[in-house]
Amino acid sequence: VAGGGVRHSAAEDALRALADATGIPVAVTQAGKGVLRHDHPAEVGGIGHTGTAVADELARTADLVVGVGTRYTDFTTASGTLFQNPDVRFVNLNITAFDAHKLAAAPLVCDARTGLTALAGALAGHRVAAAYEAEYRAGKERWERVVEAAYRAADDSAVPSQTQVLGALDAVVDDTDVVINAAGSLPGDLHKLWRARSSRQYHVEYGYSCMGYEIPAAIGVRQAAPDVPVWALVGDGTYLMMPTEIVTAVQEELPIKVVLIQNHGYASIGGLSESVGAERFGTAYRRRAPDGSLTGEPLPVDLAANAASLGMDVLRPKTVA
C-alpha cells in the first residue's frame, strides 16, 4: 500500500524497482496515486472505500500487507473492514512512529526511499508465485475494461456523465499535465478511474477534502511550474466556495483551466445523508416546491457567465463529441 510518503520521499524509483524485482502488487492511497504509472504491470489502482475491485480484493485476502508512507486513514481501510484475512500481518515503513505501529504492524521507522531500497536488498531473489501474479494481472485487465466503459459515452450527442468528462480529459492530457480536485464525488471517481501518468499529475487534496481548494491550488501549481498545464476539476457546489480567485489568476496572468461539472447542488453530501436515513437537507440548487422541499426546477444560475464576468474565457460544451 503506497501512500503519500512515497511521493514526499521521492521514492518512486525505489518503489518501481521493488515491484519490478518481486512482482508484489502495489495499491495506492489518494495521496499515493501516481507513484507508479497506471500502466505499470504491478499497479492495481486505488485501495479502500474508493478503490478498484482488484486492489480491494487483494487487500481482502492478503496475508501480508506492506504499507509504505501511509497513515491508514478511514478511507484507505474502509473504516477497518478492508483487510479480512484473520491471519493478515502488516509491515509498515513510515517516518512517523505513530503511523508505523498502526494495525499492530511490525514497524520500520524510516524514510520511505531508504526503507524501500533496504527492503529490496533483503528480498533479493524473491518473487511472488506465478499464479498470484497472473491472478492480479487478470484483475487489472478486468478493471481496465470497467474504466473504458465508464469513460465511453454511449451517445456522443447526449449530455455527458461525470466519468465521461474524465474520459474526455484523459484523452487530451499528457504526462506533464496536473489534475487538481478536493471535494464532492470527483475524488472517488478519480481514485478508481483516473490513469495517472506521473506522481505529480494527480493532485487531490483528500486529507480535509476542502471545498474551494481547487482554483487557488491551480494558481499555486502554475506559479511553481509556469510551463505545466493545470486543470482544476470542480462541481458547482465547490465552485461557489471560491470563484473569486479567478480574479487572482487573471490579474497575475496565470493560465489555468477550470472544468466545471454541474449537478445542481451538493449531490455528494446529499447522497451520503440520504444513505444513512437523513433528508437531503439544503443540498439541492432547486426552487422550493409547495410542500417545502427543494424539488422544483433547477435554479437559473449561470456559473459559466459568472466565470466570464471574472475574466475567464469560457467554453460551454454540451457533449463529449
Find the CATH number of the domain harbouring 175. 3.40.50.970
Domain membership of residue 321 (yes or no) is: no
State how many domains the chain has. 2
Domain membership of residue 12 (yes or no) is: yes
For residue 215, the model assigns a pLDDT of 98
Q: Which of 121, 144, 167 is the last residue of a domain?
A: 144
Find the DSSP H helices in 32-173: 53-61, 97-100, 112-122, 130-151, 162-172
Domain membership of residue 114 (yes or no) is: yes
pLDDT tens digits, one per residue of 141-152: 999 999 999 999
Same domain, 9 and 107: yes
Counts for the chain of helices (H) and strands (E), in that order: 13, 9
Across the chain, mean pLDDT equals 96
137, pLDDT greater than 80: yes
For residue 171, the model assigns a pLDDT of 96
47, pLDDT greater than 80: yes
Backbone angles phi, psi at 129, to 5 degrees: -60, 140
From the centroid of its chain, how far is CA 95? 23
Same domain, 242 and 190: yes
Same domain, 126 and 32: yes
CA angle (11 as vertex; 9, 14 as ends), nearest 5: 155
Please, are residues 36 and 28 in contact by the beta-carbon 8 Å criterion? yes
Same domain, 118 and 96: yes
Q: Which of 144, 170, 191 is the last residue of a domain?
A: 144
Same domain, 163 and 304: yes
Domain membership of residue 226 (yes or no) is: yes
Residue type, 295: T
268, pLDDT greater than 90: no
Same domain, 127 and 161: no
Same domain, 162 and 125: no
Same domain, 133 and 159: no
Same domain, 78 and 166: no
Q: How confident is the model at residue 138 (pLDDT cuts 50, 70, 90)?
A: very high
320, pLDDT greater than 90: no
Same domain, 49 and 72: yes
Compute the distance between CA of residue 87 and CA of residue 178 in angstroms, rounded to an integer: 40
For residue 277, the model assigns a pLDDT of 85
Can you give the three-state secondary structure of the chain, one letter per residue? Answer: CECHHHHHCCCHHHHHHHHHHHCCCEEECCCCCCCCCCCCCCEEEECCCCCCHHHHHHHHHCCEEEEECCCCCCCCCCCCCCCCCCCCEEEEEECCHHHHCHHHCEEEECCHHHHHHHHHHHCCCCCCCHHHHHHHHHHHHHHHHHHHHHHCCCCCCCCCCHHHHHHHHHHHCCCCCEEEECCCCHHHHHHHHCCCCCCCCEEECCCCCCCCCHHHHHHHHHHHCCCCCEEEEEEHHHHCCCCCHHHHHHHCCCCCEEEEECCCECHHHHHHHHHCCCCCCCCECECCCCCCCCCCCECCCCHHHHHHHCCCCCCCCCCCC
Pairing between β-strand 230-235 and β-strand 178-181 as defined by DSSP bridges: parallel
Domain coverage including residue 86: 4-144
Least confident of 27-31, 207-211, 215-219, 243-247: 207-211
For residue 275, the model assigns a pLDDT of 86
Q: Which of 92, 109, 144 is the last residue of a domain?
A: 144
